[in-house]
Amino acid sequence: MISVLIVVFLICLLLRFPIAFSLGLSCLVYVLLKGIPLIILPAKMYSGIDVFILLSIPGFILSGNLMNHGGLTEKIITFCNHLMGHIRGGLALANIGASMLFAGISGTAVSDTASIGAVMIPAMKKEGYGAGFSCAVTASSSTVGPIIPPSVPMIIAATLSGLSVGRLFLAGALPGFLLGLGMMVVAYYISRKKNYPKHPRSSFKQIALGFLDTFWSLLMTFIILFGIIGGVFTPTEASIIAVFYALVIGTFVYKRLNFKNIGHIVLDSMKTSASLMVLVGFANLFGWILLTERLPQAISENILGFSQNKYMVLLLINILLIFIGTFMETIAALLVLFPILLKVAMAVEVDPIHFAVIAVLNLMIGLTTPPVGVCLFVSSSIGKVSMSEVSKASLPFLAVSFLVLALVTLVPELSLFLPRLFMD
């Protein structure tokens, strides 16, 4: 019977049903065939969404959108350009740096690609950077965002496993930083090889002014992070504090928010969140069906039957997650696969926090893995470049991502050092 569930889900995906509805339809067909009372649909949907920690998702999305409306993207890019513009390929480095700073504000890779790409891709093309390279840098660096805190995928992982959001946020910081740094090295190497331009060095005053311009938004990330780590706020409370803070800064400091656009931003953020919550609701039912069919145990037995070696198991999981991540939306993939694979990983004594970072990193890499990576699609449409050109240009960045993934998989301390330092 489980095969019906999976087949209907895949058919719906191919027929261009929204992923959330594909989950719902496959569940409906399964429930009908099994003769389970249909009241399970609204019951599981409601219990899936009615979770206090999930409130932090619209909170972080809303605070990010409020900040962004204050012209934050441009301010962050300008600041990064002052810092790194004088280096060969400075605009590419600024693009990656902006993604790392913007990470604390947005929390989703696709929105990072869209907002930073809209400014950076045309600017890079205008300065003579290759169009494919400009799109590839933007798409690849945007995957750093959801690894560096605050991160929506980490909140989902915490909701599914009962792990501490604060620990997960901290666990993602070093791997995210490492990924960003690795991409900068690649961008610099390519820029030198292709003799991409550099700007005159900015004065200290320009750098200081650029920092002041972005200071308030960067402070928000610190309030969120240290509020959660210090036990001052719960993640949900931190997200609402961030909304309140963004409202005050956007209205009184950046002076770009008013009653009219606040309403518009709130609606926009709630529509994004609702599309995720419908997914979460149906995934709750989907997950329940998988559990009743004992699929997690079956997958666990199969993987562990193949090998009980920790690193071999992690390698298999990595391959599976990257493959799924290329075509499936991150949150959907996490909702369906994370609880199953966490059990397998824990059976070979992988720390759950370490595994959560591995899982999110894998799914992020999937977003830029050709031929279907979603971020590649977004950047290629912004840059008006063919998908094949962007895919080709993204290969060096993909190689760095795989290298960082291997490091994060093999060296648990990269993920566990900060949570142990601050929270033990």
Partner 1 sequence: MKQLIEKILKAGTLLSTFGFIGSTLIQIYARFFMDSAPSWTEEASRFFFVYAMSFAAGLALKDNYYVYLDVLYAKLKSPARRLVDISVHLTTIALFMVLGIYAIQYVVLGIPEKSPSLGFPMAVAFVSMVVMSLSIVIYAVYELKSSLNKKHD
Q: Phi and psi of 148, rounded to 5°?
A: -75, 135
Give the Cα separation of 139 and 394 in Å (integer): 8
Q: Which is nearer to partner 1, 127 or 268 (CB)?
A: 268
Does 24 sit near partner 1 (CB under 8 A)? yes
**Nearest distance from C-beta of residue 21 to partner 1, angstroms:** 6
- In SS3 terms, 38-97 reads as CCHHHHHHHHHHCCHHHHHHHHHHHHHHHHHHCCHHHHHHHHHHHHHCCCCCHHHHHHHH
**Residue 239 has which token pair?**
């997200």
Long-range contacts of 200-205 (CB under 8 A, 24+ apart): 200/86, 201/85, 201/86, 202/81, 202/82, 202/83, 202/85, 202/86
Task: Write the interaction track for partner 1 spanning residues 361-380; mark x where CB under 8 A is met and - where it is not.
Answer: -----------x----x---
CA atoms within 13 A on the CB side of 106: 26
Residues binding partner 1: number (CB under 8 A): 52
Residue from 2, 18, 299, 422 touching partner 1 (CB under 8 A): that is 18
Q: Is 288 in the site for partner 1 (CB under 8 A)?
A: no
- Piece of the chain touching partner 1 by CB under 8 A; list 11-19, 183-191, 342-350, 407-415: 11-19
Q: Can residue 332 be called a binding residue for partner 1 (CB under 8 A)?
A: yes
Residue 4 binds to partner 1 (criterion: CB under 8 A): no
Give Cα 303 to chain centroid, integer Å. 27
| Piece in contact with partner 1 (CB under 8 A), picked from 41-49, 84-92, 190-198, 404-412 | 41-49
One-letter amino acid of 412:
P
Number of residues assigned to the chain: 424
58 counts as binding partner 1 under rule CB under 8 A? yes
CB 139 within 8 A of CB 116: no
User: Nearer to partner 1 by C-beta: 277 or 350?
Assistant: 277
**Count of CB atoms within 10 A of residue 392's CB?**
14
140, 318 Cβ separation under 8 angstroms = no
CB nearer to partner 1: pick between 24 and 130: 24
Q: Is 414 helix (H, G, I), strand (E, B) or coil?
A: helix
Among 266, 304, 347, 423, binds partner 1 (CB under 8 A): 266
Binding range to partner 1, per CB under 8 A, among 133-141, 170-178, 239-247, 290-298: 239-247
112 is a site residue for partner 1 (CB under 8 A): no
Is residue 293 packed enough to be buried (19+ CB in 10 Å), middle (13-18) or exposed (0-12)?
A: middle
Asked if 261 touches partner 1 (CB under 8 A), the answer is: no
**Residue from the set 270, 304, 315, 320 that interacts with partner 1 by CB under 8 A:** 270
Q: Provide the binding-site residues for partner 1, judged by CB under 8 A.
A: 12-21, 24-25, 28, 38-39, 41-43, 45-46, 49-52, 54-55, 58-59, 62, 233, 236-237, 240-241, 243-244, 263, 266-267, 270-275, 277-278, 327, 329, 332, 372, 377
